[in-house]
Structure 1
Amino acid sequence: MKKVITLILIPLLLVSMVPSVLAEEKRSLQDELIYYVMIDRFSNVDSKNDYHVDVKDLEAFHGGDFVGIIERLDHIEDLGMTTIALSPIFANTDKGYHGYWVEDFYETEEHFGTLEEFKRLVEEAHKRDINVIIDFPLNYVSATHPWVGDPTKSDWLKESDEISTPDMLTKDWLAGLPQINYKNEEAAKYIIDAAKWWITETGVDGYRLEGIQLMDPVFLENFVESVKETDNEFFILGEVWSTDRQEIAKYEKTGIDSLTDYASTTNIREAFVKPDLSMTDTISDIDSNIDTYEAPNMVTRLIDSQDMIRFTNQPIALNEHPGPRWRTALTYLFTTPGIPMLYYGSEIALIGNETPDNRRQMDFRTDPELIEFIGQLTTAREKLPSIAQGDFTLLHESEGFTVFKRQFKEETSVVAINNTSGTKDLVLTGEELENDKELRGLLAGGLVRSNDQNEYHLVLDREEAEIYVLTEKQGFNFVYGATLLSVLLAFFAFLFFARRRGRNRTEE
């Protein structure tokens, strides 16, 4: 039996020695994959905190909580997401299910759970190497906040004629709320102290700041500097309510790590809403980002958010099946420069009209096909640093059939997206890639070898996508073949000795 065990261990050792085609790199900020969760609408597990819950009322609490997210960490991990972004966790006024009607910056919302439960959520996420960032509302407080009407805090809030209003998205749920006056040093210190307290108390990994153009510039820079002094690896995502890249880019100098790229969202949605549409404008967005931002790989890009009509609604309105629409669009999102952010429910093609209809309850009892596809995308992005960090080069674009390459150090990836109604093919030359190599597909597993003319002939079915990695040509893999043969021999040897031993016992 010792010999049998040895025979089994040797091939296993050989397997461990086979070099991987895919590169391994330590995860950096631009490698992050963000999954945005509206806590109240995600998963309700703890019924003890279901106060005045009404799932039929889209403007009431539905019961989602911290424990519910903990119970669904497997789902988020299966998607391959590396960061969970949570809607605000702070105590809110009645019907403040979205978290933006803050009444206390030092307390958790009772519908969501306790401080200890939030700490456990962060701890359990960290065990899976998943970061947790939370929305930190810096602009508004609720109309019932203790500062309102307090004569000692009268200058902690802006006068009515000083209040700014959002100018890009429909934010009726924020309209008329009191705004914090950060020219008041005491108010600014209070908020910064609260932000630092949550970092040290809970170990949270980052903040998402909504509507940063409404903030006092001096306060914003002080806020960023202060939280990063508390944790120098702390991640800050800033949302600018604008589609003007120049307006967005000026906040790069504040020390914020990533800015939301709303300037690209509309063109992405329009390009993938149905087949056979030109992607010229969408590709132009990439060039514009590269020309505008100091770190174009660090902008956060998205298709859906809590402020938009769900993308699923658009193809359905055109009698298009949303599955292929999402697969091609997400392939583009996850393989072009920037940090992808996936809004909860996108993985099940959740529908939803204008706010609050776009914040429907998450349903985990759905077809897993799209979920599995997203897992393939995130795995490819994790294994290929070129996808997250590489240079972008367009190789082909024609009415929805798009091919581009990403290059980082010695690694080259090629992404082909056939968002058309027919099979497409394309010949790439050795000058565009490299001579005498092969492309290995990571989604469908296709293999494209260069021919004698050093050409690569790509063929892609309608409404499909593939991510290739450029590698050396592989003939017969003798190491793999020997390993497989050794495993088979070991297995048959085990059967032989087991049968012989059984026969000996029978004879005895």
Structure 2
Amino acid sequence: MHKMKIAMLTFVFVLTFGSFPIHALAMSPEEQSIYDLNVDRFNNGTRDNDKDVDLNDPSAYYGGDFVGVKERLNHIKEMKFTTVILGNVWKSSNFLGENTTSYIEVNEHYGTQEELISLVAKMQDEKLMAVADFPIDQLGDAHPIRKAHETSADGQWTIVDETLVSTMAKEIVASIDKYGWDGIRLTNTQNWDAASLESLIDLIKKEADKLIVMTLEQTEANNVDIFHNESLMQTFHDTFIQFNSGVTLYEQMQNIDRRTQLQVDRIDQLRMTYEMVELRMFPPTRWKTALTALFMLPGVPTVTYGSEIAMNGETVEEGLQMMNFKTEMELKDYIGNLNTLRQESETIRNGEFELLHNEDDFTVFARYSEDEHWIVVINNSDDTKKFSIPKERFGEDKVKLRGVLNQDLIRLTKDDQYNIIQDRERVEVYYVEEDKGYNIPYLIASIMVYAAFILFLYVVLKNSRKKRAANS
């Protein structure tokens, strides 16, 4: 069934748009879609670096490495993501990247510098943007920057001055030059003022002008390319953690900066799946509802690895499990469908956003431009909902609303309305197209194909009976 839907989507896109997805490296920051992973917990590609591995201890290393990520890039590409954050890959005290002591030396548990260079090159060959984390505060004692600048007892900088900013920029640029990063995510930024962070980013971009810069924490720095918004993430989380949540995020989206990350949880925080289960919700349904909003709203959809299998865990460490590639992956196909929609449609990525209805956990909004018109319906309640769109919305021409996720079809009624009826916890994305009535040649051709197939089965079965009769 899922493969049939994917084939249908591909067919729809070829007919509608006549193009293929644009490459990530040619996309602007706000057009990206991000997959955020932890190297140690993604895939173990070689046993050569399996040191201190204990799969029964959530605080220990699990054995994931650069070779393993490289082997599983197709998994990420099949979900159509454009950007991959590898997390903190540097020499550190644990798999979470704490007490980082270098921006050049890699964590030996993940592999070698050569393997990381090979991984980044492979990602770029596959048109995936490669991003790494760079903590800029609370570095380990052995980090060369830490040795040269004064810190408090917990490793926080006593003062962030021009010398520190300049030194740090040089170290990060050296790493970019060595490994070829397409983007960086600055972490541990919460104690940096906006002006100092802006200066750091300016110095880095002076040497790497095409680099995409994001931060893990929210900041007021104006030159960050992809913003984190803690309040918005919490609202996303609270909206979709359960049906009938009574929380709504859509009003906030009307004037959103398109470079804002859209996410429901973060790699260093508790998994949303855990809270879904605690509330006795069904995670796959909850995730489909949340993911539809993530990919159809204006902003940069960001998904934590393992969300495609509804990864769970009572703590942050337990929620960062080794990725299981053999389990049910219904959500993987669903994410791929949504990402395909977004990549194929300039309007979904950059078009206008209009909220048409938002009441009682039932939301209808439009994404539109001069070329396309989409209607997105999200029923986040436990009851069937209805909303009617007047004919005038789409001009004088008669149109039809064709659902591309569940193949719904809505036509104009006698009272000049397009009636949307959505079952509980169900979503749909409708493409608005001219209604030319029923395609008689297509229907005839379809009937002939089915008739020919039935005739073929009849002949095969008849010959099979004759053979069995002859052999008996």
Structure 2 equivalent of residue 123 of structure 1 = 121
Q: How does 1:102-501 map to 2 (within 5 A)?
A: 102-145=100-143, 153=148, 156-160=149-153, 176-179=154-157, 181-183=159-161, 185=163, 187-241=164-218, 248=219, 250-251=220-221, 253=222, 255-279=223-247, 281-287=248-254, 290=255, 296-435=257-396, 436-476=398-438
Q: Is the CA contact 1:199–1:230 (under 8 Å) kept in the aligned structure 2?
A: no
TM, length-normalised to structure 1: 0.79
| Structure 2: gaps spanning 5 or more residues | 1-10, 451-472
Structure 2 equivalent of residue 38 of structure 1 = 38
Deviations 1:87-120 (A, max 9, x none): 1111123xx2112321122211111111221111
Q: CA deviation at 1:432?
A: 3.2
SS at match of 1:136: strand
Q: CA deviation at 1:157?
A: 2.8
Q: CA deviation at 1:141?
A: 0.9
For 1:282, the aligned partner's letter is L
Whether 2:15 is the aligned partner of 1:20: answer: yes
Structure 1 equivalent of residue 8 of structure 2 = none
For 1:21, the aligned partner's letter is T
Deviations 1:367-417 (A, max 9, x none): 121111111111111122222212221111232221110123332111011
For 1:271, the aligned partner's letter is T
Q: Is the CA contact 1:418–1:461 (under 8 Å) kept in the aligned structure 2?
A: yes
Q: CA deviation at 1:330?
A: 0.9
For 1:83, the aligned partner's letter is T
**Counterpart-to-counterpart distance in 2, 1:276 and 1:411:** 31
Q: How does 1:84-99 map to 2 (within 5 A)?
A: 84-93=84-93, 96-99=94-97
Q: Is the CA contact 2:187–2:217 (under 8 Å) kept in the aligned structure 1?
A: yes
SS at match of 1:459: strand
SS at match of 2:367: strand
For 1:396, the aligned partner's letter is H
Q: CA deviation at 1:184?
A: 5.8
Q: Mark the CA change 1:55 to 1:19 in structure 2 (over 3 Å): closer, same or farther.
A: closer
Q: Is the CA contact 2:103–2:134 (under 8 Å) kept in the aligned structure 1?
A: no
Q: Is the CA contact 2:165–2:199 (under 8 Å) kept in the aligned structure 1?
A: no
**Counterpart-to-counterpart distance in 2, 1:218 and 1:268:** 29
**Counterpart-to-counterpart distance in 1, 2:207 and 2:68:** 29
Q: Mark the CA change 1:425 to 1:191 in structure 2 (over 3 Å): closer, same or farther.
A: same
**Counterpart-to-counterpart distance in 1, 2:376 and 2:262:** 18
SS at match of 1:91: coil
For 1:456, the aligned partner's letter is Y
Q: Is the CA contact 2:285–2:425 (under 8 Å) kept in the aligned structure 1?
A: yes
Q: Mark the CA change 1:450 to 1:180 in structure 2 (over 3 Å): closer, same or farther.
A: farther
Q: CA deviation at 1:419?
A: 1.9
SS at match of 1:457: strand
Q: Mark the CA change 1:23 to 1:403 in structure 2 (over 3 Å): closer, same or farther.
A: farther
Q: Is the CA contact 1:134–1:208 (under 8 Å) kept in the aligned structure 2?
A: yes
Structure 2 equivalent of residue 63 of structure 1 = 63
Q: CA deviation at 1:181?
A: 4.8
**Counterpart-to-counterpart distance in 2, 1:478 and 1:79:** 36
**Counterpart-to-counterpart distance in 1, 2:445 and 2:175:** 52
Q: Mark the CA change 1:355 to 1:274 in structure 2 (over 3 Å): closer, same or farther.
A: closer
For 1:137, the aligned partner's letter is P
Q: CA deviation at 1:452?
A: 4.5
**Counterpart-to-counterpart distance in 1, 2:145 and 2:201:** 24
Deviations 1:117-169 (A, max 9, x none): 11111121122211111111111211454666x5xx3xx13244xxxxxxxxx
Q: Is the CA contact 1:258–1:299 (under 8 Å) kept in the aligned structure 2?
A: yes
Higher relative contact order (CA 8 A, sep 6+): 1
Q: CA deviation at 1:341?
A: 0.6
- Which has the larger displacement, 423-432 or 413-422? 423-432
Q: CA deviation at 1:83?
A: 0.4
Q: CA deviation at 1:28?
A: 2.8
Q: Is the CA contact 1:278–1:398 (under 8 Å) kept in the aligned structure 2?
A: no
Q: Mark the CA change 1:101 to 1:370 in structure 2 (over 3 Å): closer, same or farther.
A: same
**Counterpart-to-counterpart distance in 2, 1:369 and 1:239:** 29
Q: Mark the CA change 1:487 to 1:52 in structure 2 (over 3 Å): closer, same or farther.
A: same
Structure 2 equivalent of residue 164 of structure 1 = none
Structure 2 equivalent of residue 3 of structure 1 = none
For 1:80, the aligned partner's letter is K
Q: CA deviation at 1:19?
A: 7.2
Q: Mark the CA change 1:425 to 1:49 in structure 2 (over 3 Å): closer, same or farther.
A: same
Q: Is the CA contact 1:66–1:113 (under 8 Å) kept in the aligned structure 2?
A: yes
SS at match of 1:40: helix
Structure 1 equivalent of residue 82 of structure 2 = 82
Q: Is the CA contact 2:92–2:100 (under 8 Å) kept in the aligned structure 1?
A: yes
For 2:372, the aligned partner's letter is E
Q: Is the CA contact 1:91–1:102 (under 8 Å) kept in the aligned structure 2?
A: yes
TM, length-normalised to structure 2: 0.85
Deviations 1:24-62 (A, max 9, x none): 585332121100011111111111011121222222211
For 2:155, the aligned partner's letter is L
For 2:176, the aligned partner's letter is I
Identity of aligned residues (%): 29
Q: Mark the CA change 1:56 to 1:145 in structure 2 (over 3 Å): closer, same or farther.
A: farther
SS at match of 1:402: strand
Q: Mark the CA change 1:484 to 1:225 in structure 2 (over 3 Å): closer, same or farther.
A: farther
Deviations 1:296-350 (A, max 9, x none): 1110121111232210111211211111011101111111121011011111111
